[in-house]
């Protein structure tokens, strides 16, 4: 799965690089930075906390854009009857947005994404394990679906507010995440188009 995601990211970068000279007169590329706050379900033994993300996008058509995505979040564990430790979640993958309605000043969009990643837990009792489970695990797959609103701030700038439902499936059960978990992920982005 990781190989497929990496290959997909390289394809997006290669296509963007090859088409840049021909598209220099149009605003087809976007650089996006923002924050997200996953509302984690119970049994995902980590505190809710602020995360940061970056995206590099390419507009395929006037309504559809593709993005390479990287997210990071650092929080604390909340394992029952166990000391707190640092939890670092890193995800990367691809997502696509489609403008559903509106004009450049205010638009409604849908979003779909998928990828992989890693959950690292710094166990304060290491090498002792919580219930015999490893401290860290790879994220086999995450995928999300949602919608948002985009506000055109200037010719090249936009503000986006979005909500997605995200399913996270770890490769193996770990002390922090025992199995597939669902979360709602509100996010705020600033986008620069060029």
CATH code for position 169: 2.40.160.20
Of 105, 100, 113, residue with least CA distance to 36: 113
Please tell me the predicted confidence (pLDDT) of residue 42: 79
Give dist(CA 96, CA 193) in Å, integer: 16
CA atoms within 13 A on the CB side of 182: 3
Contact 167, 142 (CB under 8 A): yes
- Rounded to the nearest angstrom, the gap between the alpha carbon of residue 185 and the centroid of all alpha carbons in its chain is 9
Give dist(CA 88, CA 11) in Å, integer: 28
Question: What is the tally of structural domains in the chain?
Answer: 1
Please tell me the predicted confidence (pLDDT) of residue 170: 96
Q: Which two tokens stand for residue 33?
A: 């930075």
Please tell me the predicted confidence (pLDDT) of residue 24: 47
Q: What angle do CA 180, 161, 10 make, to 5 degrees?
A: 65
Contact 163, 138 (CB under 8 A): no
What's the domain range around 166? 2-193
Please tell me the predicted confidence (pLDDT) of residue 37: 95
Please tell me the predicted confidence (pLDDT) of residue 157: 95
pLDDT (tens digit, 0 to 9) for every residue of the chain, 194 residues total?
A: 667 666 666 666 655 555 555 444 466 899 999 999 999 887 899 999 999 999 999 999 999 999 999 999 999 999 999 999 999 999 999 999 999 999 989 999 999 999 999 999 999 999 999 999 999 999 999 999 999 999 999 989 999 999 999 999 999 999 999 999 999 999 999 999 99
Q: Looking at the chain, list the stretches that DSSP marks H as alpha helix, in order from N- to C-terminal side.
A: 2-19
Please tell me the predicted confidence (pLDDT) of residue 43: 83
pTM of the model: 0.83
């Amino acid at each position: 799965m990781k190989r497929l995601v990496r290959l997909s990211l390289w394809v997006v970068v290669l296509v963007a690089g090859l088409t840049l000279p021909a598209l220099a007169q149009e605003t087809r590329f976007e650089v996006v930075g923002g924050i997200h706050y996953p509302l984690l379900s119970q049994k995902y033994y980590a505190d809710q906390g602020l995360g940061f993300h970056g995206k590099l996008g390419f507009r395929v058509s006037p309504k559809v854009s593709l993005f390479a995505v990287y997210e990071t979040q650092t929080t604390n564990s909340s394992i029952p009857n166990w000391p707190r430790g640092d939890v670092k979640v890193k995800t990367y993958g691809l997502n696509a947005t489609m403008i559903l309605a509106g004009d450049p000043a205010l638009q409604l969009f849908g979003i779909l994404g998928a990828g992989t990643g890693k959950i690292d837990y710094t166990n304060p009792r290491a090498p002792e394990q919580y219930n015999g489970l490893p401290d860290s695990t790879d994220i086999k797959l995450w995928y999300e679906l949602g919608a948002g609103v985009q506000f055109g701030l200037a010719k090249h700038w936009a503000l986006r507010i979005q909500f997605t439902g995200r399913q996270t499936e770890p490769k193996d059960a770990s002390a922090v995440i025992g199995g597939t978990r669902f979360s709602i992920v509100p996010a705020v982005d600033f986008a620069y188009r060029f």
